[in-house]
Structure 1
Amino acid sequence: MKARYILFAASALGLAGCSANTGMNTAATTSAVPTLELAATGETVPVGTVARDAADDPAIWRNPDDPAKSLVIGTDKRAGLYVFGMDGSKKSFLPEGELNNVDLREVMIDGRKTVLVGASIRNDLNNAHIGLYRLEADSAELNLLGKFPAGAGEAYGFCFGQDSGDEVFAYMITKAGNVRELKLSFAMGVPNATIMREHKLTTQPEGCVVDDRTGRLYVGEENAAIWMYDLDADPFVPQRFADVNGRELVADVEGLALAPTGANGGYLVASSQGDNAYVLYDLVTGAYVNRFRLVDGLVDGTSETDGIEVMLGDFGPQYPDGLMVVQDGDNGNQTQNFKYVSWRKVLEALEGSE
């Protein structure tokens, strides 16, 4: 198979097939591993859906010209897509019905630099669809580019990947366990999505993220493991990256995010939903690094987190080294929302624990 990504260093990952469900009681399991405690710096306004599990997954767009005007896209999986400002205010809302995960990449469409936003559409529970949108940075609004079939099954997790030639791929994760790759094209400015290949995990996955530097897709099988797919390899089968072991990582494993450094270094960050924590792994070796929780501070802490996102870089005085956004499953007497975390605080906590 022709290489689509520039690969750098091979990590010490064990080969694996598909894992069976661990059968953990996620509500009762608590990790015994020491866990750092941090506080979030800010939060978004609550989403509109009341009395239901609603807020789910975020994506971050960093404004390189004015970082303080960067934007966060967040899903209300019962209703649609929000765009939030760095102060947590609602900038816009696009009603789309049932959806789940969201991601973005900057691409060229018909000669125009475009912030492309994608989401897993769940309005048809028997057939998955991808929604593609253009984020208008000046107005903070999303405009629909189209909705595209993504194979059989209920749409669930979703993420983008972009190779060294700037080709864009979408990864649809179905509730039944399918990990499906679609190639996107934009001939004459018209989007299209073509299914390329797929693999089926044994039990339910959701969170996914692609490291564009190394061509690796990470997928969380909620009660079993985090898997790594080498997108340059054929066949399309995963290696086990980390176990859901009830210690460092407690079922369900939900959102996944990257904090990349250098050619292939940095962290994979996972939401350990079963004990309300966030776990960091070394991207090169796969080794466990540390874990932390968000406790009450300037804003309330988080629990039962689904989606997470991390983006490094300057986001203004409160977030000088990067921004982490996490879904909060219990926002007190308000509906669910998203919390903003300064990545500098995470790094300082890691350094202080050494």
Structure 2
Amino acid sequence: MSSSLALTLVPLFLAAPATPVITPTVITQTFEEPADADDPAIWVNPRNAERSVVLGTLKEGGLAAFDLNGRTIGVHPAPLPPTPDAKPGRYNNVDVLGDLAFVSDRGRDRIRVFQVDERGVKDVTNPATKPVFSATEQEVDEQHTVYGLAAGRISGKDVVVTSRRSETSIALLHLHKGTTYDTKKVSTLDLPRTFTLPDGRSWTVCGEPGEGPQVEGMVIDERTNTLYAAQEDVGIWRIPLRANDFGKPRLVDKVRTFGAPQKYNPDTEECEPDGPNPGFGGKWLEADAEGLTIADDVLLASSQGDSRFVAYRKADMKPLKDFRIKDVEHSDGADIVLGTLNLLVVHDGERPNGTGFAFIRF
């Protein structure tokens, strides 16, 4: 475990006979519909770390900016629909690279780019930016659009990786800089939806008809040129990342229900057990596998199904410990920074009147 993270978390882990619970330092305001908190990212102010900014997506509510006390310093609205029948903007995930924040606009199938400073964000997206996955407006409205997102610098190139809602696809994009910013898709990778189990049987991930097992939580490890991607009903993938394409993916941990027979129930619109679990899944993640973030040599993952977080030793994906964050439920996303700031921010997916974010300073 990283030295900074260990100084705070290891004593708590060792003292706790069961899954320890960490109390947030502060929490943000609660956001109610149509705003719906989803994913955070941290911008570290290079001049004064205490004036850093936390960003959080609010889906149709836009993009929020918070100070380190959890106070909202601004909300940038999502775009209106271009026509009355079209889908509006819907901000799903966010990541920060330098002084730029990248946001997946699920509603419009575009990557939005924002300039970040201590006052908040300014939209610097090229107005002519094109959809990432959709060829027509009709396809945009079908909402198999950009979903999860991670940004990083690989071999001297600023890149963004985004996943596709209700599909197994992920795309690699390059950043085009100017007075405004645009991204261009240079490569795609399709993860499996059907797997061969240890007993030789074939297992296809259950889902609503026409929808595949999507990826949302992602993080880029710039030290090793690696993408970690959480396929929600499958597990965590480790994927070599080059400036222009992807390497061969490897599934490095599985959700507990991996390989379990399930059947889609159209009445409940949910997948339900259709036989005993054969035990081919992992021991640590309760589907959905969600938000991923890296602290030095530790990968943190959200086990959304039972509201825990799991810390892995990144080199061999050995689980180190799990923990909970007090009153944080069904977390979609997380971000952590170490150094002068030492801050973990997580999405809080279930409050009495809505959703929000929780900060842990250490």
Report the secondary structure of 2:45's partner residue: coil
Q: Does 1:130 align with 2:111?
A: yes
Q: Does 1:174 align with 2:164?
A: yes
More strand by share: 1
**Aligned-pair CA distance for 1:235:** 5.9
Question: CA, structure 1 residues 90+276, in 2 after alignment: closer, same or farther (shift >3 Å)?
Answer: same
Partner of residue 283 from structure 2, selected from 247, 259, 264: 247
Q: Deviations over 1:228-267 (max 9, x none)?
A: 110139664311121112631110011111111xxxxx11
Instruction: Decide whether the 8 Å contact of 1:56 with 1:75 is kept in 2.
Output: yes
Question: Structure 1: any 5+ residue segments left out of the alignment?
Answer: 1-32, 107-114, 261-265, 296-300, 316-321, 345-354
Matches within 5 A, 1:3-152: 34-47=18-31, 49-50=32-33, 54-96=36-78, 97-106=89-98, 115-124=99-108, 128-135=109-116, 137-146=117-126, 147-152=129-134
Percent of pairs identical after alignment?
A: 31
Aligned letter for 1:311? Answer: V
Partner of residue 185 from structure 2, selected from 195, 199, 217: 195
User: How many aligned residue pairs are there?
Assistant: 278
Q: Does 1:305 align with 2:331?
A: yes
TM-score (norm 2): 0.73
Report the secondary structure of 1:329's partner residue: strand
Q: Deviations over 1:269-295 (max 9, x none)?
A: 111001100011111111111110012
Aligned letter for 2:230? Answer: G
Report the secondary structure of 1:336's partner residue: strand
Q: Deviations over 1:136-194 (max 9, x none)?
A: x14223233234421233221011121242x21111101112111011121x4443322
Question: CA, structure 1 residues 145+76, in 2 after alignment: closer, same or farther (shift >3 Å)?
Answer: same
Partner of residue 204 from structure 1, selected from 208, 214, 221: 214
Aligned letter for 2:224? Answer: T
Instruction: Decide whether the 8 Å contact of 1:199 with 1:236 is kept in 2.
Output: no
Instruction: Decide whether the 8 Å contact of 1:180 with 1:198 is kept in 2.
Output: yes
For 1:138 and 1:99, how far apart are their aligned partners in 2? Answer: 21
2:234 is aligned to 224
How large is the Cα RMSD of the aligned pairs?
1.9
TM-score (norm 1): 0.74
1:26 is aligned to none
140-149 or 208-217, which moves further after superposition? 140-149
For 1:217 and 1:100, how far apart are their aligned partners in 2? Answer: 19
2:360 is aligned to 341
Instruction: Decide whether the 8 Å contact of 1:98 with 1:121 is kept in 2.
Output: yes
1:14 is aligned to none
Q: Does 1:154 align with 2:145?
A: yes
Instruction: Decide whether the 8 Å contact of 2:51 with 2:118 is kept in 1.
Output: no
Aligned letter for 1:197? Answer: S
1:331 is aligned to 351
**Aligned-pair CA distance for 1:34:** 4.2
**Aligned-pair CA distance for 1:53:** 7.8
Please say which structure displays the higher CA radius of gyration: 2
Report the secondary structure of 1:339's partner residue: strand
For 1:184 and 1:69, how far apart are their aligned partners in 2? Answer: 27
Aligned letter for 1:308? Answer: A
Matches within 5 A, 1:260-279: 260=296, 266-279=297-310
**Aligned-pair CA distance for 1:68:** 1.5
Aligned letter for 2:123? Answer: N
**Aligned-pair CA distance for 1:78:** 2.1
Partner of residue 295 from structure 2, selected from 251, 256, 259: 259
For 2:57 and 2:222, how far apart are their aligned partners in 1? Answer: 23
